[in-house]
Amino acid sequence: MDAEGKEGFTGLTLAPAWSVFCRCDHGNHTQCTFLLFRIGFGGPFSFSCSLLPAGVCRAFSGAIFSSKKHHYLFQSVMRFLISALAALTCAVLLGSTVFFEAPSVAVPFAGVYPDAPGGYDMHATTAPVLGGWPLIGFAYLLRLPIVGNIILSKLMNDNRFFDMIRFAQTVPHPDPLFYPIAPATPDELAIHADSTFAAERHAAAAKPAGGLHAQAHLTNSRILDLHTAYKEGVVSPVDVIRAVMDSVMASNLNDGMKSFVRYREGEALAEARKSAERYAKKQPASLMDGVPIGIKIELAVAGQPYTLGSESRAHILASVDSTPVQKLKRAGAIIVGLTNMEEIGIGITGFNQWYGTALNPYNRSYHTGGSSSGSAAAVASGLVPVAIGADGGGSIRIPAGFCGVIGLKPTFGRVDGESELAWTIGHVGPFTTTVDDSRIVLGILADARAMDSKRQPSLAYRSYPIGDLSGLRVGVCDEFNGHADQAMRSATSKAIQLLVARGAVVVPIVFPHLSAAFQSHVAAILSEMGYSTSAYELTRFGYTAEINLRLARRMTATHYVASAINRRYFFNLYRKLFGEVDVVITPNTAVAAPKITEHVTTGETNLTLTAEVMRFNFLGNLIGFPAVTVPVGITDDGTSRPVAVQLAGTHWSEPRLLRVAKILAADVGPMPIPIMHYGPAYMRPLADAAAKAAASAAKKED
């Protein structure tokens, strides 16, 4: 363009360093010269600063300035600002290349990691906590094309995902493992000779819980309480379901419990009437016929919302039941409603921006844990004796420990119909108040079709009633167990002492390369969750879920394949370790339930807390071995938060784990009754029936 500023583009290019001279005509054509120092980078970026039409500058400045001198001064300043903005953009892009680019993944000497003895290498994660407006602002920053990508690249580097890739490159003869399935050996199949409902045929090992208004002892069975009462005609399933529905609704309306987010009152009562008819004919479908249960909203229940805890899926209704739900319905269990969960299951506190956050029955100021928050709270508060959850990185065991109930994550493949969100990581399992109830529910969920498809051994409980643990090898990693707070360390030491008193032998073990295992688990679950939610616009999720899913969508095929290569390595390594011990005991989490912060409407990101809560859980999901959470007391700091331990074993070892859990629970004794407790609701009709029978007997005596 000429010096008079004719229509066109400014034509400014970004030379390394140069001056712009703008001739300003004013009065008697006095010339004014303005020196603007500019820094540019040339090349492909020059055009980005040449897009300011002179006409736009002149029209805008003409409305403000009457003199040509000021008019041309404004144009020059605007050109400078545009050039400076382009320079800043170039600097940011260059900075992202220099400072945030993926580090080199040059392969070290093959076998350095896998062949090394490997000590404990988990490190505490430190990161700022974001909540409220800072969290919202951060979410909006991630939506910006350039800035968001730079921040996400920084997060990827900070989380050391490239270390996980390096580790995979050291594994000799890489053989990716995507599904952590361990087919049973012929010897295992011969030992486990029982069939589908083995748990029911061994029901004599369990005893009714008794104590209608007390917290059930963790070794006795609420399911058998109800089953016996139904068989003897003491009470009807219809009466129990009515009492449960009343309490479930009251827990939300009066107490803001939020453990259930959807009710099935009409359907549940209809199913209860059919159950009553079966009992009248002495043909109950199973021990669970007529037993009220809750189902995590992550699992499909025909005709019900299938939201996965997110408003983005509020319009979706399940057309068919998921496989676990089908099995439970065939067994006669009655689903009274759908339970709350952390949105998309991508968190550990239980926070939900859309439904509200479920409250911990032991202390409503603290989190239930996630993501199966509602299921744990519903069982702990006495609303239902059984609830079903899903576990991709501790989502059954974490809330079970925080809420003081039994949480069982079975062997991968034991239960058909694993998680839709993370299909090679997720496990479906039960929350119960007693160990016996866990094994009964597992007997229902692990049916013949699952055994045929995965060649799993059936559940054999021949040695289940035995209280002696002589010769049981209990693996203990002191460094691993010590990476927890004082309350958790003390609880774990107490549990170990109780097992030793029963005859168990402590075997020191080492967990090598846990840092790489943790990164591999995170890469796998984020990759799968990023894909499973790829059809949805991320801004439709809550802020915490959106941030996590943006990181998930940064995962590449390289990350996923590297995690699968590492999974094979850890699968073989820990299968060998479990050949040397029978059970491994750890804290369930590194800390007790965290406090619900003031960010109750937006949520918060707290990577330090996430790492502490998941520390002892992720390995079972990566490798697929079973684990059970056993509460062993409450904190002594006045908050009354439950503390728990985790028992883990080799694949298909649920019978042994549940046997040890039952003995440990018996020695620990009953958990205290939570502050928020409803009777339990399902036992109230039995109490009423017992009171009537007692009154009738007293009348006859008179």
369-419 confidence digits (pLDDT tens): 999 999 999 999 999 999 999 999 999 999 999 999 999 999 998 998 767
545-570 confidence digits (pLDDT tens): 999 999 999 999 999 999 999 999 99
**Quick check: 426 and 419 in contact, CB under 8 A?**
yes
pLDDT of residue 693: 80
**In angstroms, rounded to a whole number, what is the distance separating the alpha carbons of residues 92 and 554?**
19
**Quick check: 323 and 390 in contact, CB under 8 A?**
no
Q: Which residues pair with 506 in a beta bridge?
A: 474
pLDDT of residue 66: 54
426-461 confidence digits (pLDDT tens): 999 999 999 999 999 999 998 655 444 456 777 766
Give the number of other CB atoms < 10 A from CB of residue 223: 29
pLDDT class for 59, splitting at 50, 70, 90? low
Q: Which residue ranges form the domains of the chain, and what is each CATH number? A: 17-99 (no CATH), 186-454+465-690 (3.90.1300.10)
Mean pLDDT for the chain overall? 83
The answer to whether the peptide bond before residue 371 is cis (omega within 30 degrees of 0) is yes
What's the distance, CA 70 to chain centroid? 62
Tokens of 62: 């003409």
pLDDT of residue 22: 37
pLDDT class for 106, splitting at 50, 70, 90? very low
pLDDT of residue 100: 44
**Quick check: 75 and 22 in contact, CB under 8 A?**
yes
pLDDT of residue 360: 98
For 367, which DSSP code? B
Name the amino acid, one letter, at 254. Answer: N
185-209 confidence digits (pLDDT tens): 666 665 554 433 344 444 434 555 5
321-362 confidence digits (pLDDT tens): 999 999 999 999 999 999 999 999 999 999 999 999 999 999
- Confidence (pTM): 0.83
**In angstroms, rounded to a whole number, what is the distance separating the alpha carbons of residues 346 and 358?**
16
pLDDT of residue 90: 59
pLDDT class for 91, splitting at 50, 70, 90? low
Question: Is residue 40 scored above 50 in pLDDT?
Answer: no
Question: Is residue 219 scored above 50 in pLDDT?
Answer: no
pLDDT of residue 624: 96
Task: Tell me how far CA of residue 637 lies from CA of 163, 486, 487, 634, 642, in angstroms.
Answer: 39, 11, 9, 9, 11
